[in-house]
Chains A and B, each alone.
Chain A
Amino acid sequence: MRKKSLVYSLFFQVGILLLLFVLQFILPTYHHSSVSKIMVLASYAVAYNFLLGYTGLMSLGHAMFFASGMYAAGLGIYYLELSALGGLLFGAGFTLVISLIFGLFALRTSGVSFLIVTLMFGQTFYLSILYFNEFTFGQDGFSLAKYLGKLVIFNREYLYSNPDIRYNFAFILLTAYLLISTFIMFSPVGRILIAIRENESRTELLGYNVFYYKLFALVLSGTFSGIAGATHALLFTYIGSTFAEIHHSISPILWTLLGGAGTVIGPFIGTGIMFYLVDFISGITSNYQLVVGVVLILMIIWFPMGIMGTLRQKWMKWLP
């Protein structure tokens, strides 16, 4: 059954990815760029889903991971003159260390305490960016455009902000995240994470070291969020404290809940819908946040498991 589910799931996701790949040739300029951004942000949401959707840990400080990857990559390129790839790796490595340290402290708590500790760490990180203004460029942030080299493919040079490079880079990131997610969720580790989400005490009684599994999920989630942040820095060239604000921690929660927490593809669906919902409604009224809020409330009432979660419950039992 699990093998059959894996095959269905892979077909489904490969179908979506193929559609995304083909879309780049037909989308108008604005939507081409928007989908690029959605894919990077959705990668962040997929990373967040490791923790919320599969392990049952809700963090209110995940912007710290996204921003630490972004800032490490950006400041590494700016101060240490790293290449773009070097910056990306530096961002990933830095976030791995940050999330490991964070996890060792934060996972000593659980439930609401965990939520508060993550919020406090996130705010501390955000305020540190403002406090060390002369090093981080503080609230204004900075543009990497002048400091990024060019990407060389078959002896041809491209800017990282080139629309095609941006789209395909984002596509590769999202593809990798979705596939890694799927395989982890079908692996024994993934089943244990789900067991922790469903009943942590029983999982512990079965002999699993719950702390280490939760630490694994948090480090994976944090590091993947950091890589998404570093990628965002390279492709969109702006680095600023806004990405460390609490709003940017809340966003992946909303994207994940809307799309379906605990489903691999849900965060991507939620991110896309939310992006276009804001984009569309803001063109009609300046009270778009109110409208979006009401829509979200109604969604949660009628589809508490999110869009993909509801589809899984009713028709797509094999959806991971």
Chain B
Amino acid sequence: MSHKEVKSEEQSELNITRRSVLGAGAVIAGTGIVGSQIIDPLAKTAYAAGSDAPIKIGFQAHRTGIGALYGRWYERTTNAAAKYINSIGGIAGRPIEIITEDDGTDPKRGADVVEKLATQHKVDFVFGTLFSHVVMGSAPRAGELKIPYFVVSEGYHVASGALNRYTFQPCITDVRAQISAVSGWLFNNLGKNVTLIYPDYAFGYNHRDYATAAAEKHGGKIVAKIAIPPTESSFTRYFVKIPKNTDVIYHVMVGPGVLTFVRELGEHFGPNHPQLFGFIDSLEGVNISSPGLDFLDGSYFWEAMPRYADGYDTVGSRFYRNAVGVNNSGASRSDSKDVSAYSHMFGCWETLFAIKEAVEQSGYRSKKDYSTLIETVEGFTGFNEGIAHPQGAKVFSGKTHQCYGQQFVSKVGNGKLNVIHKTSIADGMYEPETDYTKQSL
């Protein structure tokens, strides 16, 4: 398949998907989706004249540890969202107060942080956890304390049924949905014979398993599965295992070794290499035009929310980008070298609005209203695109406590990521495998 052919199909796919997204939007609206209406930033409502204490939201932050880069941006986004929500009258007329505790990106400490936020700071809700092992370590404690716990993690653990009725992931799609959504495009546009290169632990296995399932569905073939131990620092010896008939290398390397991985991949293949498709997790916080990343030119990446402003220019996304202080290239406005975790951090912004919606619709006043609030969230069917949900519309499953949303495929060119395809929400949807509503409160 020539480069030209790929480009024309990409363009065609982009058009089709736009239509399908519009169609999906109409379907969602027709089925009575819960409306996070586009909030007018000028429509301020006064706080209830001193009668109400703030709604306290505990933010479990990865300030230190392996997730610190994400944590820094999650915190900025959370503070920006809280500032904006307070500027438009808070939640149900009450201001919100964010109380942050660092979990060190460590599941052991994560459970302690949930405990501290709930029982010492006496927050109304806990939210914001990203790394899946920290969610796994913390969610049981949230369930025992019976405090609603809103995570922004991408992990499939919520939808899998591994957690509990108090844990929700309402505003960021899980890795299974992401893979399912973009794999169809990958097999139909880049090639049928795919070699998977993934880290040899849970996150990598999710990619291995769901990409394999997607290959069967779309007539593709996984010609090799190469698992790389997380402690590996040199990768060349793995590249000789890539079969010659490989059309696409699907890579999901994460961690500090990723730049070495890309450089060695480039040295191994030279200019004649299979198509490259990766997940942006590898390069969150990394300038795409950094020295050593030249080899990525012409390769493809999944993005949950396009880092570069011209890739997804909506009223909501513009407002959000400005509010958080990110420039058009996805870096901090005050420091262009400080590149954001743009494909993940929108989840914090959106989740705070989901909490706002849940509180206002359920009439939540205090902790005794938790049951009503949880049942209200479980009754949500989704959110409309807008300032509250700048990444795009979401479909929400009350059974699995998990949302579905659109995904993007971007191509590296001219030292930036250029969006070439947007999936429909339906592309990533799968049958629920659990029903949390059957668990007692």
Contacts and interface: CB of A to CB of B under 8 A. Distances in A.
Contact of A286 (B102, B107, B203): B102
B136 A143 contact: yes
A237 B229 CA distance: 28
A315 interface: no
A250 B232 CA distance: 23
A29 B107 CA distance: 21
Contact of B137 (A133, A138, A240, A286): A240
A131 B200 contact: yes
Contact of B202 (A28, A140, A159, A286): A140
Q: Which of A140, A159, A241, A286 has the most CB of B within 10 A?
A: A140
Contacts of A242: 106-108, 133, 137
A204 to B, nearest CB: 39
Interface string A5-22: 000000000000000000
B119 A33 contact: yes
Say which size band chain B's interface belongs to. 35 or more
Nearest to B68: A286
Contacts of B107: 141, 238, 240, 242
A139 B229 CA distance: 12
Contacts of A142: 136, 162
Contact of A140 (B115, B116, B120, B133): B133
A139 B102 contact: no
B119 A30 contact: yes
A286 B106 CA distance: 14
B137 A141 contact: yes
A127 B229 contact: yes
B140 A143 contact: yes
Contact of B155 (A140, A237, A238): A140
A159 B102 CA distance: 28
B140 A145 contact: yes
A276 to B, nearest CB: 11
Interface string A227-269: 0000000001110111100001000000000000000000000
Contacts of B140: 143-145, 161, 236-238
A287 to B, nearest CB: 8
A286 B64 contact: yes
Contacts of B201: 130, 133, 138-139
A134 B119 contact: no
B263 interface: no
A289 interface: yes
B133 A141 contact: yes
B112 A161 contact: no
Interface string B83-107: 0000000000000000001100011
A310 interface: no
A186 interface: no
A241 B231 CA distance: 14
Interface in B121-174: 132-133, 136-137, 139-141, 143-144, 155, 157, 162-164
B119 A127 contact: no
Contacts of A144: 140
A278 to B, nearest CB: 8
Contacts of B133: 139-141, 240-242
Contact of B111 (A133, A159, A238): A238
A133 B141 CA distance: 23
Interface residues of A, number: 36
A143 B162 contact: yes
Contacts of B163: 143
A34 interface: yes
A283 interface: yes
B115 to A, nearest CB: 5
A283 B136 CA distance: 23
B411 interface: no
A137 interface: yes
B221 interface: no
Contacts of A37: 112
Contacts of B141: 236, 238
Contacts of B115: 30, 33-34
A133 B205 contact: yes
B35 interface: no
B192 interface: no
A283 B109 CA distance: 13
A282 interface: yes
Interface string A124-137: 00010011011001
A283 B99 CA distance: 10
Given A130-B230, A283-B101, A286-B63, A34 B112 contact: yes
A279 interface: yes
B200 A140 contact: no
A33 B63 CA distance: 24
Interface in A187-246: 236-238, 240-243
Contacts of A133: 200-202, 205
Contacts of A28: 119-120
Nearest to A129: B201
A164 B108 CA distance: 21
A30 B120 contact: yes
Contact of A141 (B102, B136, B231): B136
B202 A279 contact: no
Interface string B160-201: 001110000000000000000000000000000000000011
A140 B139 contact: no
Interface string B37-67: 0000000000000000000000000011000
Interface string A271-287: 00000000100110010
Interface string A162-204: 0000000000000000000000000000000000000000000
A143 B144 CA distance: 12
A283 B121 CA distance: 11
Contacts of B230: 130
List the 9 closest pairs (A to B, CB-CB), nearest first: A30-B120, A30-B119, A29-B119, A286-B63, A143-B140, A138-B202, A140-B202, A237-B140, A139-B201
Interface of A: 28-30, 33-34, 37, 127, 130-131, 133-134, 137-145, 159, 161, 236-238, 240-243, 248, 279, 282-283, 286, 288-289
27 contacts: A29-B120, A30-B119, A130-B200, A130-B201, A130-B230, A133-B200, A133-B202, A133-B205, A134-B205, A138-B202, A138-B205, A139-B133, A140-B132, A140-B157, A143-B163, A161-B140, A161-B144, A236-B141, A237-B140, A238-B141, A240-B136, A240-B137, A242-B107, A242-B137, A283-B101, A286-B63, A286-B64
Given A159-B144, A236-B111, 6 more contacts: A127-B231, A130-B230, A139-B203, A143-B136, A161-B140, A282-B102
Interface of B: 63-64, 101-102, 106-108, 111-112, 115-116, 119-120, 132-133, 136-137, 139-141, 143-144, 155, 157, 162-164, 200-203, 205, 229-231
